[in-house]
Amino acid sequence: MKRALILCLSLQSLSLLPAVGAAQAQTVVDGSDKNASPFVKSTLHMLSKRFAEDQPKFRKISTHTSGDKQIVCGEISLHGSKVPEAENFLPFGATQGEENPLVFEAHTIPAALDFREVNTWINHGADLEDLEEMGCVPEGSYRQYSDRLNAVLQHRKTN
């Protein structure tokens, strides 16, 4: 009995069996998911599950390859409206064979940071750096973020 249960769970994790109660619709507001590959569909499904309570909306979905791996990029909105405004969309990306898609949740860097929060802000920027390396955000995006963060940290040192 245990072996059968383990086999079912293993097959489900490989997406060979349908998941019970896992029907999660992906709303793509601009139709950019036309002719989406199974990898793209899987990525959108994972993000929809991860942010299920926010009923995410997607747009600007595109794919490209890096070596022998497919990369999907796009934008996700966690805003509750049917068609969110442009400023409500966050960049996301996923590399085929990687565990989880990355979403850069943009937060305005405050004018001053508590020393205990510095690592959190640095780690937060790592997602943006990874998205830049994947080709999902414009080159220099991480540098701009890093420069703003460093300016706040320098200001702290002078006070």
Residue 52 shares a structural domain with residue 99: yes
Two structure tokens written together for 2: 């245990």
pLDDT tens readout for residues 38-57: 999 999 999 999 999 989 99
- Residue 159 has what pLDDT? 46
What is the side-by-side strand order in the sheet with 27-28? 27-28, 57-66, 69-77, 89-95, 102-103
Residue 47 shares a structural domain with residue 83: yes
pLDDT tens readout for residues 60-90: 999 999 889 999 999 999 988 888 898 999 9
Angle at 68 between CA 138 and CA 15, to 5 degrees: 100
In a domain, 39, yes or no: yes
Residue 128 shares a structural domain with residue 64: no
Residue 147 shares a structural domain with residue 124: yes
In a domain, 5, yes or no: no
Residue 110: strand, helix, or coil: coil
Give the range of the structural domain holding residue 155, as residue numbers without chain letter: 104-159
In a domain, 1, yes or no: no
Residue 122 shares a structural domain with residue 141: yes
What are residue 48's phi and psi, to 5 degrees?
A: -65, -40
Residue 126 shares a structural domain with residue 99: no
pLDDT tens readout for residues 137-147: 999 999 999 99
Residue 111 shares a structural domain with residue 99: no
Residue 28 shares a structural domain with residue 87: yes
Residue 110 shares a structural domain with residue 97: no
Side chain identity, residue 28? V
Side chain identity, residue 53? E
In a domain, 32, yes or no: yes
Q: How many CB atoms lie within 10 A of CB 56?
A: 24
Residue 118: strand, helix, or coil: helix
Run of H or E residues at 2: helix 2-13
Residue 52 shares a structural domain with residue 88: yes
For residues 65 and 97, what is the distance between their CA atoms, to the nearest angstrom? 12
What total of structural domains would you count in the chain?
2
Residue 28 shares a structural domain with residue 99: yes
Which letter does DSSP use for residue 106 in this model? -
pLDDT tens readout for residues 97-115: 988 999 998 888 888 888 7
In a domain, 17, yes or no: no
- Residue 57 has what pLDDT? 94
The last residue of a domain, from among 103, 134, 150: 103
Residue 88 shares a structural domain with residue 121: no
